[in-house]
Structure 1
Amino acid sequence: MVTAVSVLAGMQASPATAARPLSLFDFFGGGRPRPHRTIHAPKIPLPRPRPAEAPAAKTGKLSAEKPAEGEKPAAEPSPPPAPKPSACRLALTEEIAIAPSIPDIQGPGGCGGSDLVRLDAIVLPDKHRVAVTPPATLRCPTATAIADWVRTDVAPLADKLGSEISGLDNYDSYDCRSFNGIAGAHLSEHGRADALDVHGFKLADGRSIVLTDRDVSRDFRESVLHSVCTRFMTVLGPDSDWYHEEHIHLDLMGRHNNYKICEWDVLDPLPKIAPLMPAARPEEAPPRAVAGKEDGNKGDAAKPQAAEPAAKAAAPPAVPTPKSLKQARRRGR
């Protein structure tokens, strides 16, 4: 204890120690720690400049991980294989129609479909093309049915008109909408790419054949009617409803027991001039003056007989007398 006090006294008396704060090293000896010597980092030599005759360095990004020596780099994953074409797609060749495949459509509310094609033209047996204007987006079976109908039935009918068919007027094909565009109705076959609305045909001589035109040959329109009703499940035209007065709707909608709907009235032409006056009087008819005189005589003879009841009915009622009033009062009691 005496030693510690003496040490403290000595430290207080030292002027060097009074100028700095005390630390544990002052009590237990050793003084303040000596500073370490500065450590100098070794100089790293830089690479020499690239020789001018050296090949140019590649600027492409190197892969983060280099394969080990003798190890082959990992192959990139291959894309999924494309779906195999359907039997319909294989059968619908360019000898029948120009109809390239298009991607499947997945629309809202069940719209769209798979195995779709864009029907650009139909190739007739003589290699002549019938352009579809505008091109129709259809399922492959529907496009095949349209192409076969034009090739087999419509082309011979057009030949009877004295020309060759050169175009099909597409009124509507794929359209994501309800039946007749009515809100809340079920999905139309147009929304499934299963329907085509045909407005008419174009002939090579420049004529246009509108299927709903009354002035077009009735035989031609009736022949088309029988043809489409045989091939398609639904046929709607004039007089089916007012939505189909200007085109013919065709689709392949399946129903129970293969039930078909064929509603298309082939209407007669309207008269050029409406009849305003009655037809001329036949020569064998009696003269108008004689007929009028005879009718007048008959009327005069019948007048006395018909006038009596009329006169009685028009006579004023009799004025009641005081005697008759008294009798009426008695009956009322």
Structure 2
Amino acid sequence: MSFPLRTLAALLVLLPVSVPAQDFFKPLKDFVEDLVPQRAPATRPVPKATPQVKEEAETPPPLPKPRPEGLGEEEPEAPVEAAPAPEPDAPVEPEAVPAPEPAPPAEEAVVDDRIYQTACPALISGAVVAKMLPPIAEGVCMAQSPLEVTALNLNGKTVELTSPIQTNCEMATALVDWAGDVDAYAKAALDSGLAALQTGTSYMCRPRVGGAEQFTSEHGFANAVDLVGFTLADGRSIVVENDWLPATTPEAKLLRQSHGAACGKFTTVLGPEANADHEDHLHLDLGCHGQTCTAQICE
């Protein structure tokens, strides 16, 4: 392989002049040897390793030397005495446990003994002279806010009841309105107003008269009043049993007029022409008739 002389000359110029000859040419020699391809060295067979024979045979370990007689023998251990069993403890009496204190009695339920009743406007306004009664509860018969009525205030005067009646507020209110119409008619037709109402049965727990016994009378709900007659201011007494007939007399006309006026104030009005059970009085009540409680019975 040729080496360019120009390159060699350039290298010679770069080297210092004071370098010895052997040192000067050594880098050039190494450079040239690097450029020349080298032959791979010939491989030589590697000799096989021979197993090394153990020079000495393995010797058995030495036996222990015998001990002198009487030495090294273990003396028998002395028997260990068993520890005495612990004596059983004396039975411990259980401590007296105090009996638990009795639980305080449960507080009794507070019973609300207040009575809730409905106030009656006719009583508050003074239209009726009455007092509140305790609620009525007698089997199927009952009334939450009954009144004991003794007189009515109408047309500027007081009309007495010949016997107090026990009835509810609705009946007492309707009774005042109806008696006011009767008083006005009596003044016009008989020249004397009412002084008193002759009253009969009011509250009474019983079955309905003239009907099936399973039905309770409106009297059993303080919702009915029987009227026997009237007493006029001039002292005359007009009674249903005696004065209903003949119908043409002034007294009979007052009774019939009072019957007709009641049909506009109450839902049930029964008189002598209804049946024999009512031949001596007018029955007035506010019972429910029909599905909507708006039907009226007037006989």
TM-score interval, smaller chain = 0.5 to 0.7
Q: CA deviation at 1:243?
A: 0.3
Match of 2:126 in 1: 95
- 1:77-134 deviation digits (Å, cap 9, x = unpaired): 99847455525x14433521101100011102x11211100010001231x2111121
Residue type of the partner of 1:178? P
Note the C-alpha offset of 1:226: 2.0
Change (3 A) 1:205 1:112: same
Cα shift at 1:219: 3.4
CA change 1:91–1:163 in 2 (3 A) is: closer
Which structure carries more helix by proportion?
1
State the alpha-carbon separation in 2 of the partners of residues 122 and 81 from structure 1. Answer: 32
Q: Which residue of 2 aligns with 1:43?
A: none
Matched, 1:157 2:185: yes
- Match of 1:230, SS state, is coil
Residues 167-196 of structure 1 show CA distances to partners (whole Å, capped at 9, x for unaligned) of 111111011111128783411111111000
1:86 pairs, out of 114, 118, 131, with: 118
Residue 289 of structure 2 aligns with which residue? 255
Task: Look up the equivalent residue of 1:210 and give its one-letter code.
Answer: V
Matched, 1:220 2:268: no
Q: Distance in 1 between matches of 2:238 and 2:288?
A: 30
Q: Deviations over 1:123-167 (max 9, x none)?
A: 1231x211112100001111111122112x011012121112111
Provide TM-score, normalisation by structure 2.
Answer: 0.56
* Contact 1:97–1:121 (CA under 8 A) maintained in structure 2: yes
Kept in 2, the 8 Å contact 1:123–1:129? The answer is yes
Report deviation, 1:225. Answer: 2.4
How far does the alpha carbon of each residue in 1:212-245 deviate from its partner, in whole angstroms, 9 at most, with x for none?
5225424323321221111110111112111000
Q: Are 1:203 and 2:271 matched, yes or no?
A: no
Distance in 1 of aligned mates of 2:276 and 2:193: 31
Contact 1:94 1:123 in 2 (8 A): no
Q: 1:81 to 1:125 in 2, by over 3 A?
A: farther
The 1:182/1:252 distance shift into structure 2, 3 A limit, reads closer
Which of these residues, 204, 228, 232, is aligned with residue 175 of structure 1?
204
Structure 2 CA distance, aligned partners of 1:158 and 1:79? 53
Q: In structure 2, what is the equivalent of residue 117 of structure 1?
A: 147
Query: CA separation of 1:114/1:85 partners in 2, compared to 1, >3 Å: closer, same or farther?
Result: closer
The unaligned stretches of length 5 or more in structure 1 are: 1-76, 264-333
Q: Which amino acid aligns with 1:86?
A: T
Q: Structure 2: how far apart are the matches of 1:172 and 1:223?
A: 22
Unaligned runs of 5+ in 2: 1-108
Deviations for 1:275-330, whole angstroms, at most 9, x for unmatched residues? xxxxxxxxxxxxxxxxxxxxxxxxxxxxxxxxxxxxxxxxxxxxxxxxxxxxxxxx
The structure 2 residue matched to 1:236, chosen from 260, 270, 277, is 270
Rounded Cα–Cα distance in structure 2 between residues aligned with 1:253 and 1:232: 8
Secondary structure of the 2:287 match is: coil
Distance between the aligned counterparts of 1:184 and 1:78, measured in 2? 40
Structure-2 residue corresponding to 1:287: none
Distance 2:285 2:152 in 1: 18
Task: Count residues in correspondence.
Answer: 183
Alignment of 1:1-333 (within 5 A): 80=112, 82-83=114-115, 85-87=117-119, 89-93=120-124, 95-108=126-139, 110-126=140-156, 128-151=157-180, 153-160=181-188, 161-180=190-209, 184-212=213-241, 213=243, 214-215=245-246, 216-217=249-250, 218-256=252-290, 257=292, 258-263=294-299
**SS of match in other structure, 1:135:** strand
Aligned-residue Cα RMSD (Å) equals 2.4
Tell me the percent identity.
36
One-letter amino acid of the counterpart of residue 226, structure 1: G
Runs of 4 or more above 6 Å deviation: none
Quick one: distance in 1 between partners of 2:225 and 2:275? 17
Paired residue secondary structure (1:231): coil
Q: 1:182 to 1:84 in 2, by over 3 A?
A: closer
Q: Secondary structure at the match of 2:231?
A: strand
Aligned counterparts of 1:201 and 1:158: Cα–Cα separation in 2: 10
